[in-house]
Amino acid sequence: MYNGKFILRFEDTDPKIKRPSLIFYDSIRQDLKWLGCKVDEEYIQSDRLPIYYEYTERLIRDGNAYVCECPPEEFRKKTLAKEPCPCRILSAAENLERWKRMLSGGYSEGQAVVRVKTDLEHPNPAVRDWPALRVIDTKKYPHPRVGSKYIVWPLYNLAAGLDDHLMGMTHIIRGKEHYTNMVRQKYMYEYLGWKYPEAIHYGRLKITGAFLSKSKIVQGIKEGIYAGYDDPRLGTFAALRKRGITPEAIKKMIIDVGTKSNDVTLSWENLFSYNRKILDATSNRYFFVAGHAKITVKNIPKIFNAKLPLHPEKPEKGFRQYSITPIGDENASFFYVAEKDITNMETGKIIRLMELFNVKIEEKAGNWAGATFASESYEDVRKSKAQLIQWIPVGEEYPCSIIMPDASVTEGYAESACKKLKPDAIIQFERFGFVRINEADEKLVAYYAHK
RNA sequence: GCUCCGGUAGUAUAGUCCGGUCAAGUAUUCCGGCCUUUCGAGCCGAAGACCCGGGUCCAAAUCCCGGCCGGAGCACCA
């Protein structure tokens, strides 16, 4: 939209607490690819430690950063009192020495940290002399990508702060939990003589009823509550993709929501509406009947050839065809219909098998209904507003399971034309909803998107 | 507790900086109608909101003060 460049940067500088897992690097690339976000450049911070070291040295040499040996509690006490800690007043030369020692393994975990100087009077104590790099025992906690090669690791503010400038970032758009990080980093930018990029901090994005919290998701999967990262109950991109939510719909919605600093709770309805707009124009239509209910139609006067358009407004998309040949003395034929439609039938009423013919309901018994042929023309029932229902000739059924958004499964039959569908196709089952095909082998397995 | 943000219909968003054209626009949702061989889509119509209280002003959703509510940060996490 603005001719910007898209840089993907992996911020994997914590081998201990937020230990990155190798598979995430690729799943993030996958999600972006699916979303249609073309990555122009990619950086991984764990490859860039020498760069961070170089700038750290410069900060120390200029007296704008120092190596602090204070235990955290000691430092906090000092900083809350707006007093410098003993390390802060050391000369640049002494600090440079400490820095060298830090790199060469002279300190173990927790014994030293590099701090960037700020205003000790800053009203927010969290800003005062923030930590920039610390020691990690990578023998004990090897980094998944670079192992035990480094023992001094940068914190977010140093690594991301330097990279934002070094990579030519013009705009930083990130969650509002990073607001104070901007305040902190601005001191460093000042020292380096750099201009801080435009920063926009947005609120948390939630979607009603979906779990987006990473730790909750991971835990749920571990406990077997969720089938995986793409469980339909989750709000992950993988889950949305599996459910047939298009990347275009997601993008439209995100752009619509914009960047406000208060939290937003998106409703599925809105997402579905964006999605439906896209899908309705493109998706082919097919018949699906939920359940295993049947209807018998007698007195069918001739052979019928039904030609059903794949899309009501786009005849060029083609058709599927079924031939109905009445058999036996009673000229009968048999169809699967939705259980719900049987329930709603009333004896004596006329209903229409869509695009086929009209029948009169004669009797009902549980999962079955008996009917007689009434007439062929749609015009006959148009004025009476007879119910139009989907049907599948017995013999043309294709067993089908549909995974619903709550992970329950709706069993039924799809029409045999669906055997040609490929996984990932998103279609509409008329009067049922949009679904994404997941498998089309012995049986059709689909994920329900929405009405 | 301290340091910051923010509060417009069910949901999301425009307008707020630079007061009037906002008796508040849009999308979605809901309701009614039209149309349609899907209870889908489309079309038409209707309903629905400026957190509260003061102040400034000819005039406040917009500016000021106070309150209430919500959120974020206060890590050798990102």
A84-133, pLDDT tens digit by residue?
A: 999 999 999 999 999 999 999 999 999 999 999 999 988 888 899 999 99
Protein-to-nucleotide distance from the CA of A317 to the C1' of B47, whole angstroms: 40
pLDDT for A217 equals 83
Decide if pLDDT at A63 tops 80. Answer: yes
- Rounded CA separation A152/A158 (Å): 12
- Burial of A324 per CB tally in 10 Å (0-12, 13-18, 19+): buried
Q: Are residues A69 and A194 in the same domain?
A: yes
CATH of the domain at A256: 1.10.1160.10
Q: Are residues A304 and A163 in the same domain?
A: no
In this structure, is the CB of residue A126 within 7 Å of any atom belonging to strand B? Answer: yes
Give residue A343's region: left, alpha or beta (phi > 0; psi -120 to 50): alpha
Report the pLDDT averaged over residues A240-262. 90
In this structure, is the CB of residue A286 within 7 Å of any atom belonging to strand B? Answer: no
Decide if pLDDT at A328 tops 70. Answer: yes
pLDDT for A235 equals 86
Domain boundary among A388, A407, A425: A388
Q: Are residues A132 and A19 in the same domain?
A: yes
pLDDT for A261 equals 82
Q: Are residues A41 and A15 in the same domain?
A: yes
Protein-to-nucleotide distance from the CA of A413 to the C1' of B29, whole angstroms: 32
pLDDT for A381 equals 87
Nucleotide nearest the Cα atom of A9 (by C1')? B78
Protein-to-nucleotide distance from the CA of A228 to the C1' of B39, whole angstroms: 33
Report the pLDDT averaged over residues A182-192. 94
Answer whether residue A60 is part of any domain.
yes
Q: Are residues A70 and A195 in the same domain?
A: yes
Of A197-201, A203-207, A273-277, the range with the highest mean pLDDT is A273-277
Answer whether residue A38 is part of any domain.
yes
State pLDDT tens for residues A229-242: 899 988 889 999 99
Report the pLDDT averaged over residues A343-347. 90
Q: Are residues A168 and A117 in the same domain?
A: yes
Chain A residues 252-281 within 7 Å (CB) of strand B: 256-258, 260-267, 269-270, 273, 276-277, 280
Q: Are residues A65 and A125 in the same domain?
A: yes
Chain A residues 313-372 within 7 Å (CB) of strand B: 313, 340-341, 352, 354-355
Tokens standing for residue A47? 């490859």
Residue bearing tokens 């992950």 = A236
Domain boundary among A388, A406, A421: A388
Answer whether residue A184 is part of any domain.
yes
Answer whether residue A400 is part of any domain.
no
Range of the domain at A246: 205-282
CATH of the domain at A120: 3.40.50.620
Work out the number of other CB atoms within 10 angstroms of the CB of residue A105.
11
Answer whether residue A345 is part of any domain.
yes
Domain boundary among A199, A217, A238: A199
- Packing angle of the helix pair A247-257, A22-35 (nearest 10 deg): 90
Count up the domains in chain A and report the number.
3
Q: In chain B, which nucleotides are within 7 Å of a protein Cβ?
A: 2-8, 10-14, 27-29, 36-42, 70-78
ipTM over 0.85: yes
In this structure, is the CB of residue A170 within 7 Å of any atom belonging to strand B? Answer: no
Work out the number of other CB atoms within 10 angstroms of the CB of residue A439.
12
pLDDT for A206 equals 83
State pLDDT tens for residues A377-420: 998 888 888 899 999 999 999 999 999 999 999 999 999 999 99
Q: Are residues A157 and A274 in the same domain?
A: no
Q: Are residues A123 and A244 in the same domain?
A: no
Answer whether residue A407 is part of any domain.
no
Answer whether residue A185 is part of any domain.
yes
Mean pLDDT rounded to a whole number for chain A:
92
Decide if pLDDT at A451 tops 80. Answer: yes
Percent of chain A's residues with pLDDT above 70:
99
Chain A residues 70-99 within 7 Å (CB) of strand B: 70-72, 75-76
State pLDDT tens for residues A357-375: 999 999 998 899 999 999 9
Chain A residues 403-442 within 7 Å (CB) of strand B: 428, 430-431
Q: Are residues A178 and A37 in the same domain?
A: yes
Decide if pLDDT at A219 tops 90. Answer: no
Report the pLDDT averaged over residues A271-291. 95
Q: Are residues A269 and A376 in the same domain?
A: no
Answer whether residue A40 is part of any domain.
yes
pLDDT for A1 equals 62
Q: Are residues A11 and A159 in the same domain?
A: yes
Decide if pLDDT at A213 tops 80. Answer: no
Report the pLDDT averaged over residues A314-334. 93
- The residue among A12, A8, A3 whose CA lies nearest residue A40 is A8
Helices (H), A264-385: 268-282, 339-344, 379-382
CB A256 within 8 A of CB A271: no
